[in-house]
Amino acid sequence: MILGTDTKVMLLVAGLIFLWALLLGAWKYRQIVVSPKHEAHPYVSIAHRAALLYSFAVLLIAVFVELSDWPTAVNLIAAAVLLPYFVIAITTYVWHGWRQDTDNQLRNPVRGTGVYMITLIIGEIGGFIVLLAGFVHGQFV
């Protein structure tokens, strides 16, 4: 089976995020071992879990990209809208886990958080709707 360039890119990204999740798991384990309570910081656990989930989300996106009827460029742009939000989320969780500065990043949000969350909602849902529509068009129409 010959995969499209857009699908290959998504599979590579899924693999890289999964590798990141595995490395975060090692960090989480280390924190559990050295902690008096045998617990990792909440954001280390969240970063690990989020990276695992996002890696599989990108696999799902790769399937929709592969089965989409849209041109490669459209699929890549739609996916490219989603991916930075995934990476920024994991990075933010890692940052809070490293700094151990909070157990709830939205309790005292930084300026612009509300606007960012609105762009995240629109970008993630909108990007996926484009891919879902391409799948429906290619497979059902």
| Sequence ranges of the domains in the chain | 5-140
pLDDT at position 1: 80
Q: Convert the pLDDT of each residue in 18-40 to its tens digit.
A: 999 999 999 999 999 999 999 99
How many whole angstroms separate alpha carbon 137 and alpha carbon 75?
A: 13
pLDDT, residue 19, reads: 98
What is the percent of the chain where pLDDT is above 70? Answer: 100
- Mean pLDDT of the region 60-73: 97
